[in-house]
Structure 1
Amino acid sequence: MHSAARDHADIAGRADLDLVLRRFYTAAFADPLIGPFFTEIAGTSLDVHLPRITDFWERALFRTADYQRNAFAPHAALHSVEPMTAAHFGRWVQLWHATIDGLHAGPNAERAKAQGERIALAMLKRLSDGAPDTSGRQNLGFIPLAAVELRAAA
């Protein structure tokens, strides 16, 4: 763990998650690779999306929020309009790690990063199901090596 990470407190609750998610989605919306999924295809409003996704992550990390929504359905709808590939999910993981690492360090932060990777891999596998992507290559559900290298360097 680099020295700057030691200066960061762990993710302690909903207020911390709100800040992480606000920073993450601000970066994700602006990202040239994955931003269009939020801004153009889904037409997502951060103000509408943030409370829902904060509930999701609060439940995932602390089991304190009530999240009853189907997290897969909106991703499947987006995928039917514009296929999401390993590169898209890899970029999501990169931004997720960078956001968390920039704000927090500790067991909850590590769990959030690991959970994000598991969700990204599961979502990609479920969406692609080994089907060829638009380039004709077989999409086997791998996150790009850069995401793994980013995690290893943290």
Structure 2
Amino acid sequence: MTADLSTSQDVRNVIDSFCERLRRDEMISRYFQYVDWKSNLPQMYSYWSSLLLGRKEESRSEGRPFPKHMMMLGLTETQFQRWIQLFYKAIDEKYKGEKAAKMKLNIHALTLALQSRLHVMNADD
């Protein structure tokens, strides 16, 4: 049985699983090859822990996710959907419940904003 996200470690588990999937994925890993994971992961942990659990981690997130996603310029709609799918899979493999659903809703809202700002291209364009 899967449980809901309830601790900072749960959030870290999701983020770590997601980022590992990004690094291994043949379709989109190239967009993340230059990410400084050592500094980026603590910010991701903090951002999501604060949002989902109301907790601030040691490394405060700047709360500005867009600049960090500029390396995704040129992503097609298909590639962008793959990015979202990998995030959802990282959640679904272990968690189910209100906070897991809230994380997905926030990912969806974030991705809509990112798609617009990054001018994600339809594969048919």
Q: Same fold (TM over 0.5)?
A: yes
For residues 94 and 26 of structure 1, what CA distance do their matches in structure 2 show?
13
Quick check: which has more Rg, 1 or 2? 1
> Are 2:85 and 1:94 aligned?
yes
CA deviation string 1:33-92 (max 9, x = no partner): 1111111xxx1243332111111111222232242242111223x14xx41232222111
Which consecutive residues of structure 1, in runs of 5 or more, have no partner in the other structure?
1-6, 138-154
Q: Equivalences for 1:109-148 in 2 at 5 Å? A: 109-128=100-119, 133=121, 137=125
Which consecutive residues of structure 2, in runs of 5 or more, have no partner in the other structure?
none
Shift of 1:29: 0.8
Conserved 8 A contact 1:17-1:58: yes
- AA of the residue aligned to 1:89: F
For residues 122 and 6 of structure 2, what CA distance do their matches in structure 1 show?
41
Q: 1:106 to 1:49 in 2, by over 3 A?
A: same
Q: Which residue of 1 aligns with 2:62?
A: 68
Q: 1:134 to 1:102 in 2, by over 3 A?
A: closer
Q: Which residue of 2 aligns with 1:144?
A: none
Q: 1:107 to 1:30 in 2, by over 3 A?
A: same
- AA of the residue aligned to 1:124: Q
Q: Equivalences for 1:4-153 in 2 at 5 Å? A: 7-39=1-33, 43-65=34-56, 66-76=60-70, 78-79=71-72, 82-128=73-119, 133=121, 137=125
Runs of at least 4 residues of structure 1 off by over 3 A?
133-136
For residues 13 and 124 of structure 2, what CA distance do their matches in structure 1 show?
39
TM-score for both structures, normalised by structure 1: 0.70
TM-score for both structures, normalised by structure 2: 0.85
- AA of the residue aligned to 1:116: I
Conserved 8 A contact 1:11-1:105: yes
Count of paired positions: 122
Q: Indicate the SS of the match to 2:93.
A: helix
Using CA pairs under 8 Å that are at least 6 residues apart, name the structure with larger relative contact order, 1 or 2: 2
Q: Indicate the SS of the match to 2:108.
A: helix
